[in-house]
Amino acid sequence: MNLPRRHLMIGLAGLAGTAATYARAETPLTSDAPKGHVDTAVQRVPFYGPHQAGVTTPRPEAGIMAAFDVVVRDVDGLEDMLRRLTERGATLTAGGPVPERDPNLPPADSGILGDNITPDNLTMTVSLGASLFDKLEGLDRLRPRQLQRMVEFPNDALVPANCHGDLSIQFSANLPDTAMHALRDIVKNMSDALVLRWMQEGNVPPVLPAADGTTPSARNFLGFRDGSANPDSNDADLMRNVVWVQDGAEPAWATGGTYQVVRVIRNFVERWDRARLSEQEAIIGRRKMSGAPLDQPDANEHTVPDYTAGDHTPMDAHIRMANPRGPDADKHLILRRPFNYSNGIASNGQLDQGLLFICYQADMELGFLTVQNRLNGEPLEEYIKPVGGGYFFTLPGVANAGDYLGSALIMAARQS
């Protein structure tokens, strides 16, 4: 072989480099796993408290929304199911070693997290659908007042197989496998009572901190920052008003719970990517890169838009229709906790992706229903299509190890 001298030298240098890297054990090989992070793996969200975790707690990268049919005959069966679900939730979110079993039996755990379950910020948020209150005797009178079957809005094209359910579980975790491990555990251990009806996985892209140290909102699959106007989830007073059901508004058992709205909203991304940037920004009402409102294009995403100052923001811009910033704006706040989803391709060859929209509010009518009704007919509809989801009521929290999810509901059901 007669290689030009320069190539030979590069080749030798390359070989020398390879030898050197083999000597350093920390240089990963093709087959090495991506490096995990101990600091995030050990993150644990407290399971017990007045409210369930996974609502006002920070949204980690991975999410799964799963809806189930509940197969129990009566309130006793429901209690048994809820107690076991509580036990699984407490166990999985705490983490710990996987139990060993006689190797001649199927293993107790799927094993996808190995022999030690890392908590990894896992939360499991359990909510009930209106159909559960319909199907169990003695439960109808205890239904949260505004809990109903998801309605179909004008732009919706709901796929029956991806809608509704007697019970939903929102799994959130740092890593997708942690959320999936929890779902597999529920499917395996609760098969006599919970039948999976539909599920949607999603994720939130991690975002680098801004120069001032704050973390900007993550982008959705339209390329816009999503959640800029979300109420402050660390403001406990605000959350009491916006998210948590208070005494008196609902059946007593529901205090501390919240309404969960789930919408699987397909984005027609090919078409969106072919829309002019100026049109995209006019449709949303924000600058695409910074998230700043159009009336203050050099501000940031958290700047409150001023719709009185000229006609920078079209009347039918998404953010303006959703929240016209009128005097009663605070009444209609919702806490959004969405994930982006991608499901391969649709039958027409276009990408099947969009937003797994999840929001929480103490009042469905003032919250999601008002906002969505305002949005009917918005220009964004040309690029989005809600295809699934459901309305659920997120149970109040589990007070302590002696309590279980929905205990107040079960007690109320027994008092005739």
Task: Give φ, ψ of 378 to 5 degrees.
Answer: -65, 150
Asked if 91 touches another protein (CB under 8 A), the answer is: yes
Asked if 181 touches another protein (CB under 8 A), the answer is: no
Residue list 135-154, contact with another protein (CB under 8 A): 135
Q: Which of 195, 275, 299, 387: binder of another protein (CB under 8 A)?
A: 195
Give the nearer residue to another protein in terms of CB position, either 134 or 279: 134
Q: What is the DSSP letter of 225?
A: B
Give the nearer residue to another protein in terms of CB position, either 193 or 395: 193
Give the nearer residue to another protein in terms of CB position, either 71 or 238: 71
User: From CA 304, how far away is CA 341, in angstroms rounded?
Assistant: 28
Kindly provide the residue ranges of all beta strands, DSSP E only, lying in 8-165, ordered along the sequence: 62-70, 96-97, 116-117, 123-129
Q: Which token pair is 180? A: 């999936």
Alpha helices, H only, 249-342: 269-273, 277-284, 318-322
Q: Choose the binding region for another protein from 139-147, 192-200, 205-213, 260-268 (rule: CB under 8 A).
A: 192-200
Determine the angle formed by the axes of helices 75-94 and 407-414, rounding to 10 degrees: 170
Give the nearer residue to another protein in terms of CB position, either 106 or 402: 106
Q: Which of 194, 284, 321, 355: binder of another protein (CB under 8 A)?
A: 194
Q: Which token pair is 46? A: 């407290």
- Residue 373 · residue 253 · CB < 8 Å: no
Asked if 105 touches another protein (CB under 8 A), the answer is: yes
Residue list 54-73, contact with another protein (CB under 8 A): 69, 71
Nearest Cα neighbor of 55 from 119, 122, 120, 125 is 125
Q: Least distance to another protein from the beta carbon of 101, Å? A: 5
Q: Which token pair is 393? A: 């009521």
Kindly provide the residue ranges of all beta strands, DSSP E only, lying in 333-372, ordered along the sequence: 335-336, 339-345, 351-361
Give the nearer residue to another protein in terms of CB position, either 197 or 286: 197
Q: Least distance to another protein from the beta carbon of 319, Å? A: 39
Give the nearer residue to another protein in terms of CB position, either 88 or 143: 88
Number of residues located near another protein, criterion CB under 8 A: 27
Kindly provide the residue ranges of all beta strands, DSSP E only, lying in 268-394, ordered along the sequence: 335-336, 339-345, 351-361, 384-394
Residue 202's DSSP bridge partners are: 63
Q: Least distance to another protein from the beta carbon of 164, Å? A: 10
The CB-side HSE value for 276 (13 A sphere, CA atoms) comes to 3
Asked if 104 touches another protein (CB under 8 A), the answer is: yes
Give the nearer residue to another protein in terms of CB position, either 33 or 161: 161
Asked if 88 touches another protein (CB under 8 A), the answer is: yes
Q: Least distance to another protein from the beta carbon of 67, Å? A: 12
Give the nearer residue to another protein in terms of CB position, either 102 or 237: 102
**123-129 and 384-394 as β-strands: parallel, antiparallel, unpaired?**
antiparallel
Asked if 241 touches another protein (CB under 8 A), the answer is: no
Give the nearer residue to another protein in terms of CB position, either 27 or 191: 191
Asked if 179 touches another protein (CB under 8 A), the answer is: no
Helix (H) or strand (E) holding 22: helix 5-23
Asked if 84 touches another protein (CB under 8 A), the answer is: yes
User: From CA 192, how far away is CA 70, in angstroms rounded?
Assistant: 9
Q: Least distance to another protein from the beta carbon of 52, Å? A: 20
- Give the contacts of 11 (CB within 8 A, at least 6 positions apart): 3
Residues near another protein, by CB under 8 A: 69, 71, 80, 84, 87-88, 91, 99-106, 108-109, 135, 185, 188-189, 191-195, 197
